[in-house]
Amino acid sequence: MNIGICGICGRMGAATYGIALERGHRLAAAFDSDKSPLFGMDAGTLIHADSGIKISSLNPDDVTRTDGVIDFSAPPASLALLELAKKAGKPVVIGTTGFSKQDVERIKDASGAIPVLFSPNMSLGVNLLFRLTEIAASTLGPDYEVEIFEAHHRFKKDAPSGTANRLVEIIKSASKNLSSAEVVSGRSGMVGERGDSEIGIMAMRGGDIVGEHTVYFIGMGERIELTHRAASRDTLARGAVSAMEFLSQKPAGLYSMYDVLGL
């Protein structure tokens, strides 16, 4: 495939570029902010190669030249990409996080015209974690409190992570007693006893942590922990490229990594 990458100068964009080549695809377009130090340079610089593709701002000509675009940028760039992709009739894989509810509605609207795969985490393992969390939340009753811990590198801008927020959505949807639970992001001071309808999220930031998520189901006398740890961004990049391969034969619609996994 002729793949475009939006946010190619970021850690995930560069990793996706390398995995795409590893899987036999070609880089057809490279997009990033004009504030990037590598803007205007050959994208191959990112992986110590020569691609013949210059890193540029989003533009309709380059989007049209691709078979689809993988996006690891920022919400404003993702939404601008979707508008160009709709006009060009190209599929988009969105791995960007930090969207508002209004942004998500715009993504859903775009999927009425083109295939869009939208996931807060492209890792196949994390998406299995989503499914296992759904099973646990639907099976365990009100005697089990639910808490989520997530950890990422010091450069991550949003908290809680998109993956942690997705885990909350899954728990609320699957658990009858937590459907309207209050989300508590950290605790400090004399907060009183834990409420029966709470989902706690704790975020840690530091160093070069790629990503770690644990969902705790805590009962009296026992605790169930579902954990996923990413050791390399290649895991996420490999999932994103697999997602684009999946979308290449699909009609317009909103897809997730569950579809890629066949869950």
User: Catalytic site residues?
Assistant: 152, 156
CB 165 within 8 A of CB 262: no
Q: Which two tokens stand for residue 42?
A: 């050959």
DSSP state of 195: P
* Burial group, residue 7, by CB count within 10 angstroms (0-12, 13-18, 19+): buried
Please give the angle made by the CA atoms of 147, 149 and 155, to the nearest 5 degrees: 150
Tokens representing 136?
């646990």
- Are the C-beta atoms of residues 13 and 29 closer than 8 Å to each other? no
β-pair type (211-219, 182-185) = unpaired
In order of 18, 171, 196, 197, 244, the CA distances from 223 in angstroms are 40, 16, 17, 18, 38
